[in-house]
């Protein structure tokens, strides 16, 4: 597999997004002489407190941009060390990757069980198995440079836990782990019934224990949730530090593991087959086309 050692000859095709909140930027482009397009995501790293005394001295010039009463704002370039960035590369990037990375309008859609059965499920079943190759590589221990954090090999209730690709592992305050269950027959939240309670309890208990032991983050500072809808239809649970917030932890996308367990226990095994679920869909997603057709047809009736 080709891997770059610098951005030599990198040609920018377009800016996919740039987000001042997360101090991040996504670029589509290509490396000179290398086949395929590349998505490059840059994110500024958090400050290393040890370097702060070195930065806050006469070497750092302040340019005032705003003042009001006791308040003022400046821009400055920290001299040492040069500001660090995190780089995420997707290469070769498919059209799907590019569409996913690109800034786009989002919509809240109320997905009824009927919409799921008639429209969404056939769509999920039509996806090529290659979409889950990275998951199976991890489960089969074929390819995964990231360290395995934990494994329970039980075929029914077991799972694997790795650091999520989104975590740069520099701080536990941004802890982000990914739990992949061993079973390959659970598509998503809608698939879950009382039959899966032992699996859900097992994840809740063991993942929290391991994270406490390994990273010192106590169970009540973890947010464990499932995306509905996810991007990948192999059942997985996101485990993050409670202080980490992003689009992925927003309502209309993240469903808490604890609440899922409680809903199935309190309201019945078929809760998630009967419930209307609110989902957040981007216009670039295939599902947006499917949903908007259903919503328009309903409005005409
Ligand atoms: P999702 O809810 O299906 O989709 O979560 P999302 O990407 O819209 O959140 C899939 C999760 O798997 C995300 O949190 C990804 O960051 C993570 N992920 C994706 N890939 C391809 C990898 C990978 O190769 N390694 C690891 N460790 N995590 C991945």
**Residue 300 confidence (pLDDT):** 66
Domain shared by 135 and 254, yes or no: yes
Residues of the domain holding 42: 11-87
Domain shared by 196 and 138, yes or no: yes
CA 129 / ligand 1 centre spacing (Å): 16
Domain shared by 206 and 59, yes or no: no
Domain shared by 19 and 133, yes or no: no
DSSP three-state, residue 50: helix
CA 52 / ligand 1 centre spacing (Å): 33
Question: Predicted ipTM?
Answer: 0.97
End residue of a domain, out of 87, 119, 150: 87
End residue of a domain, out of 87, 118, 133: 87
In whole angstroms, what is the distance from residue 193 CA to residue 259 CA? 13
Do 238 and 203 touch, CB atoms closer than 8 A? no
Domain shared by 250 and 174, yes or no: yes
CA 164 / ligand 1 centre spacing (Å): 6
Do 186 and 264 touch, CB atoms closer than 8 A? no
| Residues having CB within 6 Å of any atom of ligand 1 | 134, 146, 162-166, 178, 227, 230-232, 238, 248
Domain with residue 24: its CATH number is 3.30.200.40
Domain shared by 122 and 185, yes or no: yes
Number of domains present in the structure of the chain = 2
The residue among 102, 58, 52, 90 whose CA lies nearest residue 166 is: 90
**Residue 27 confidence (pLDDT):** 95
Q: What is the mean pLDDT of each run of 10 residues along the chain (301 residues)?
A: 90 92 90 94 84 83 79 78 74 90 93 95 94 89 80 98 88 93 97 98 98 97 97 97 88 96 98 97 93 78 60
Residue positions annotated with a catalytic role: 236
Q: Is the peptide bond before 240 cis (omega within 30 degrees of 0)?
A: no
Nearest CA to ligand 1 atom 24: 134
Query: CA 290, 293, 294, 295: dihedral to nearest 10 degrees?
Result: 120
For 112-139, give one letter per residue: b (16+ CB within 10 A) or e.
ebebbeebbeebbeeeeeeeeebbeebb
Closest approach atom of ligand 1 to CA 248: 9
Residues 6+ apart with CB under 8 A from 53: none
Domain shared by 262 and 147, yes or no: yes
């Amino acid at each position: 597999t080709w891997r770059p050692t610098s951005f030599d000859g990198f040609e920018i095709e377009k800016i996919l997004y740039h987000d001042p909140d997360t101090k991040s930027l996504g670029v589509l482009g290509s490396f000179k002489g290398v086949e395929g397009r590349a998505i490059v995501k840059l994110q500024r790293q958090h400050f290393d407190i040890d370097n702060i005394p070195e930065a806050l001295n006469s070497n750092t010039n302040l340019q005032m941009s705003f003042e009001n009463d006791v308040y003022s704002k400046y821009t400055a370039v920290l001299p040492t060390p040069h500001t660090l960035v995190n780089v995420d590369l997707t290469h070769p990037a498919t059209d799907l990757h590019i569409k996913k990375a690109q800034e786009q309008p989002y919509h809240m859609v109320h997905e009824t069980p009927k919409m799921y059965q008639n429209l969404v499920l056939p769509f999920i079943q039509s996806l090529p198995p290659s979409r889950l190759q990275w998951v199976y590589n991890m489960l089969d221990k074929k390819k995964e440079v990231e360290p395995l954090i934990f494994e329970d090999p039980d075929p029914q209730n077991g799972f694997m836990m790795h650091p999520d690709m989104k975590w740069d592992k520099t701080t536990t305050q941004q802890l982000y782990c990914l739990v992949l269950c061993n079973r390959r027959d659970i598509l998503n939240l809608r698939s879950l019934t009382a039959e899966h309670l032992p699996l859900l309890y097992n994840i809740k208990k063991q993942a929290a224990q391991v994270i406490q032991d390994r990273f010192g983050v106590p169970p009540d500072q973890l947010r464990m949730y499932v995306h509905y809808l996810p991007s990948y239809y192999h059942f997985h649970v996101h485990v993050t530090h409670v202080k980490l917030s992003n689009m992925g932890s927003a309502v209309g996308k993240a469903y808490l593991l604890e609440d899922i367990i409680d809903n199935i226990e309190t309201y019945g095994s078929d809760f998630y087959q009967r419930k209307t679920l609110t989902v957040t869909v981007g216009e670039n997603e295939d599902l947006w086309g499917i949903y908007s057709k259903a919503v328009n047809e309903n409005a005409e009736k």
